[in-house]
Homo-oligomer: A and B are copies of this chain.
Amino acid sequence: MAVGTVLITGGTGYIGSFTTLALLDAGYDVVIVDSLYNSSKVAIDRIELLAGRRPDFYQVDITDEKALDEVFAKHPAIDSVIHFAALKAVGESSIIPLEYYRVNVGGSIALLQSMTRHNVTNIVFSSSATVYGDATRFPDMIPIPEHCPIGPTNTYGRTKSMIEDVITDYVNAQRTNLEKEGKPFQQWNGALLRYFNPCGAHPSGIMGEDPQGVPFNLLPLLGQVATGQREKLLVFGEDYPSRDGTAIRDYIHVVDLARGHLEALNYLRSKQPGVKAWNLGSGRGSTVFEIIKAFSNVVGRDLKYEVVARRPGDVLDLTANPKLANEELQWKTELTMEKACEDLWRWVSNNPQGYRQEPPAELLAAIKKA
């Protein structure tokens, strides 16, 4: 008997696939909807290999309310949703913003409407630390707590912040409306999970991030330098007032992050708190040079990089204050940035083509044995 049944939108993506795995391991049944626009169905095979059972899967666009309705109708056991499905490239969001608003905001509205029709009333939302924008505007807000003022500086971040508002207003309204009608109002709950810099891969070496096109995060780019797919890493600025001049970010292992989703879901289902925002970060900041060094140590050789000018919009320090999640969710990161580097290297060195190639037989054999 499953603990519960959860719909995961965007469940074949990077964080979605790890969260699916965490939920299966915790005894949940999982139904995935994903458009496969920026992910691969192969992720489901890997999840099955690791979890020993397979999530249900439907190729559905998040803006397609009818298709969502059909999935909910087919799986009446679903009581909660973890919502990842979204366009997620910051740079692209400034080039095709209307598409970002349509898919991310419009898709979330469609999802909430469909959930309502099927009486599914818990939503865990994949937000982002991007909603804080330049938190260094507020000197007493580093590391960043959840009450730091919101102020995203790009379209991607604005879509996340808008969806937070939509979920907050809707959950609050539903609770108020149901309470007035004398109905059980506590059932409507929302978790807004603001991630810092997700990184790393599964320790088995068969599941990880599979960026389409040019990656836009530091560690996947370093991974490509290490595998020879990229000549060198560009470091944007070494004149920040940090310990070595490069910018500070809070790197969180994707396995920890996935567990954070599980804990948030459990909290919503057991405590029924209404809407809550939680930072998911380690509380530890690493500079770009520290990441390069840690990853080079794992690879066993120096990796080529070049320092260029700061990128406009980049800020000195984005480190989470994860105290609220530590205390309320009884969750904290357990895996270090160094461990994320190890796992990432195992993933990219064994699967330089990501999910477009079979992993080495010895890795698969090790999983079957375990």
Whether A173 and B97, one on each chain, are in contact in the complex, defined by CB atoms closer than 8 angstroms, is yes
Per-position contact with B for A91-114: 1 when CB-CB < 8 Å, else 0? 000111110011001100100110
26 contacts between A and B (CB under 8 A): A94-B169, A94-B173, A94-B176, A95-B173, A95-B176, A95-B177, A97-B166, A97-B169, A97-B173, A98-B112, A98-B113, A98-B166, A98-B169, A98-B173, A101-B105, A101-B109, A101-B170, A102-B113, A105-B105, A105-B109, A105-B162, A106-B106, A106-B109, A158-B165, A158-B169, A162-B162
Q: Does A155 contact B (CB under 8 A)?
A: yes
CB neighbours of A112 from chain B (8 A) = 98
CB neighbours of A165 from chain B (8 A) = 158, 162
CB neighbours of A101 from chain B (8 A) = 105, 109, 166, 169-170
Q: Which of B94, B106, B162, B170 contacts A97 (CB 8 A)?
A: B170
Q: Which of A98, A116, A165 has the most CB of B within 10 A?
A: A98
A355→B158 CA distance, assembly (Å): 41
A180→B365 CA distance, assembly (Å): 52
Return A94 CB to nearest CB of chain B, in Å: 6
Residues from 78 to 95 in A contacting B, C-beta threshold 8 Å: 94-95
Per-position contact with B for A143-185: 1 when CB-CB < 8 Å, else 0? 0000000000001001000100110011001001100000000
Return A276 CB to nearest CB of chain B, in Å: 18
Whether A109 and B98, one on each chain, are in contact in the complex, defined by CB atoms closer than 8 angstroms, is yes
Q: Place the interface of chain A in its size category.
A: 20 to 34
CB neighbours of A116 from chain B (8 A) = 98
Whether B95 and A102, one on each chain, are in contact in the complex, defined by CB atoms closer than 8 angstroms, is no
CB neighbours of A113 from chain B (8 A) = 98, 102
6 closest cross-chain pairs (CB), A and B: A97-B169, A155-B169, A98-B170, A97-B173, A101-B166, A102-B109
Return A152 CB to nearest CB of chain B, in Å: 9
A4→B36 CA distance, assembly (Å): 44
A102→B113 CA distance, assembly (Å): 9
Q: Which of A101, A162, A176 has the most CB of B within 10 A?
A: A101
A96→B170 CA distance, assembly (Å): 8
CB neighbours of A94 from chain B (8 A) = 169, 173, 176
A256→B221 CA distance, assembly (Å): 57
Per-position contact with B for A212-229: 1 when CB-CB < 8 Å, else 0? 000000000000000000
A177→B92 CA distance, assembly (Å): 12
A95→B173 CA distance, assembly (Å): 5
Return A63 CB to nearest CB of chain B, in Å: 10
A109→B109 CA distance, assembly (Å): 13
Return A80 CB to nearest CB of chain B, in Å: 18
Per-position contact with B for A245-275: 1 when CB-CB < 8 Å, else 0? 0000000000000000000000000000000
A112→B113 CA distance, assembly (Å): 23
CB neighbours of A173 from chain B (8 A) = 94-98, 155
CB neighbours of A97 from chain B (8 A) = 166, 169-170, 173
Of all chain B residues, the one with the shortest Cβ separation from A113 is B98
Per-position contact with B for A101-131: 1 when CB-CB < 8 Å, else 0? 1100110010011001000000000000000
A176→B162 CA distance, assembly (Å): 24
Return A55 CB to nearest CB of chain B, in Å: 28
CB neighbours of A155 from chain B (8 A) = 169, 173
Return A126 CB to nearest CB of chain B, in Å: 18
